[in-house]
A = this chain, B = another copy of it.
Amino acid sequence: MPSAPHIEHHFTASETVRDVVIGMSDGLTVPFALAAGLSGAKVGTSVVVLAGLAEIAAGSIAMGLGGFLAARTDQEHYQSELQRETREAREIPEVEAAEVAHVFEGWGLTQQQIRPIVAAISSDEKRWVDFMMRFELGLEEPDPGRAVRSAATIGFSYVAGGLIPLAPYFFLDDLETGLVASVAVTLSALFVFGCIKARFTGIPWWRGGSQTTLIGGLAATAAFAIARLFR
């Protein structure tokens, strides 16, 4: 895509930032809620720690590998569509040329204006296929190194986030004190995380902060209520 002098105003999160946000927001929320729920069921601090660590292991692997496969599937999907478009540009050029023309008709150009454009685009196979990929199918070429980076970033962020709600239970033997400390530490961490995340999504910081805090609080309350109900 071409860039113009004022384009830096349109700030969007980089893929790494998005992966950190994906991993950390679930890492902060789910182990926190699980620990709170088990505390409500009065199972003993060691079980809370055990379940929390098992959850962090499970969640980080599930999300990390999930991210890996999603990125690799994107890559494969792009390649297979690229091959299809290249084949079609060779085998049914008149259909593909009509599709290019169709894109421009949608922008209110006349047939007379469209003809040289279609000729220019279809004069170069790479450019033609690139046009079809982007404007007919809306696909951008994915970065081939992304799958591994994405998996590691999501996984580590989940672990980092998940250890925050669990930390108080490591140091405090009393379950109730542990729960209170975990709630205080995690809701604060969720608020700070939400404020930082808001900078990347372009919403006001106080709304970003209160949204993540609210989600974490609701999830923990629900887990607490369910565990109380079924214990």
A interface residues, Cβ below 8 angstroms from B: 1-2, 4-7, 9-10, 12, 25-26, 29-30, 32-34, 37-38, 41, 43, 46-47, 49-51, 53-59, 61-63, 65-66, 69, 73, 76-77, 80-81, 84, 88, 95, 98-99, 102-110, 113, 116-117, 120-121, 123-124, 127, 131, 135-138, 140, 201-203, 211, 214-216, 218-220, 222-227, 230-231
Contact = CB atoms under 8 A, between A and B. Distances in A.
A50 B43 contact: yes
Contact of A1 (B53, B88, B136): B136
Given A2-B102, A108-B123, A215-B66, A61 B230 contact: no
A117 B127 contact: no
Task: State the oligomeric state as a number of copies.
Answer: 2
A50 B230 contact: yes
A55 B55 contact: yes
Given A38-B50, A49-B230, A117-B109, A4 B58 contact: no
B2 A136 contact: yes
